[in-house]
Amino acid sequence: MGTIDRRLKRIEENPDAEYKYIELKDGGRFWFKREELYKSFGLYYLACLGADARREERPSVPPLFEAIAQAEDRAGAMEEVLPGWRNWKTDYSTSVCIDLDRLVDEGVIAPYDWVRHIEQETGQTLEEMAGLDS
Amino acid sequence: MRQRLDEILEDVLSGKLTTGKGQVAATIIGTALRSFEVEKKQKEFLELERRLSEVEKMYSRKGEPTDSDSYPFGGGVWAR
C-alpha cells in the first residue's frame, strides 16, 4: 500500500498537473485550475469594483474562496493559490476584493470594498472624485 | 490485547492457567488482532481507491473550463 500511496501522491502533487487541490477540514478536497485563478481574482475583482461603485449587490463568491475558508490549512492553501498574499492590501498587482486576512485568520469570507477604501484614503466620495457632486 | 497475551503467557508459565486454556485464549486474541489488521488494510485500500478515482476524474476533465456560462468567475470541483 505504501508504494501505491507514494505513486498516487506523485501524480496528485505533480507540479505540471492542470489541477491542484486544497485539503478541506471535512476530509474532502477542492480541485482548481491554476490557469483559471485570474477569474476568481481579477475578473471577480472587476465585477465587484463595479458593483460596489454602483452600490449594487456583488456576484456570488467564487468557490475557490469558500474552499480556502474550509481548508485544513488555510494559510497553506492561500500561499499555494497566491504566494506572498499577506501584502494584498499594498501590492496593487494583486486584484482581490475579499478580505484575505480575515479569510485566512478567521475562515470568514468578508467582502473588501476598495471603493470605500479609496474614499476613506482620499477623504472624497467617488462622485466628488469624478466631478459629479454638483 | 498484546498486554493480555503477555498476561496469558505469564499465567501459563506460572501454572495459574492450563496450557490448553492458554492456547485457546491466545488463538482468539491472535484472530482478533489479525481481523483489526485486515480492517485497517481495507480502510487504506478504500482511501486509495477514492483518491485514485478523484485523480482519474480530474484527468478526464483535462482542457475543460471549471466555470459555466452563468458563472464566469472560476469554478472548481468539490470532491467529498
- pLDDT in 10s for each residue of chain A, 134 residues: 778 889 999 988 888 888 899 999 999 999 999 889 999 999 999 999 999 989 899 999 999 999 999 999 999 999 999 999 999 988 878 889 999 999 999 999 999 998 888 888 889 888 888 887 65
Domain hosting B22: range is: 2-60
Residue B54 at interface with chain A, using a CB cutoff of 8 Å? yes
**A73 phi/psi in degrees, rounded to 5:** -130, 95
Report the pLDDT value the prediction gives residue B37, as an integer from 0 to 100. 94
Handedness of CA B52, B55, B59, B65 (dihedral sign): positive
Residue B62 at interface with chain A, using a CB cutoff of 8 Å? yes
Candidates B45, B63, B79; nearest CB to A31: B79
Do the chains contact at A26 and B80, CB–CB below 8 Å?
Answer: yes
Examine residue B74 and state whether it is found in any structural domain, yes or no. no
Do the chains contact at B77 and A37, CB–CB below 8 Å?
Answer: no
Contact in structure between B72 and A44 (CB atoms under 8 Å): no
Interface size, chain A vs chain B, as Cβ–Cβ contacts under 8 Å: 82
Examine residue B70 and state whether it is found in any structural domain, yes or no. no
* Tens digits of residue pLDDT in B11-60: 999 999 999 999 999 999 999 999 999 999 999 999 999 999 998 888 88
Examine residue B72 and state whether it is found in any structural domain, yes or no. no
Amino acid A20 reads K
Examine residue B67 and state whether it is found in any structural domain, yes or no. no
Report the pLDDT value the prediction gives residue A14, as an integer from 0 to 100. 85
Count of structural domains within chain B: 1
Examine residue B55 and state whether it is found in any structural domain, yes or no. yes
Closest residue in chain B to residue A32, using alpha carbons only: B76
User: Phi-psi bin for A57: left (phi > 0), alpha (psi -120 to 50), beta?
Assistant: beta
Distance CA A43, CA A49 (A): 10
Neighbours of A85 (CB within 10 A): 19
Closest residue in chain A to residue B50, using alpha carbons only: A28
**ipTM of the shown complex:** 0.77
Examine residue B22 and state whether it is found in any structural domain, yes or no. yes
Neighbours of B69 (CB within 10 A): 6
Residue A72 in grid coordinates: 485544513
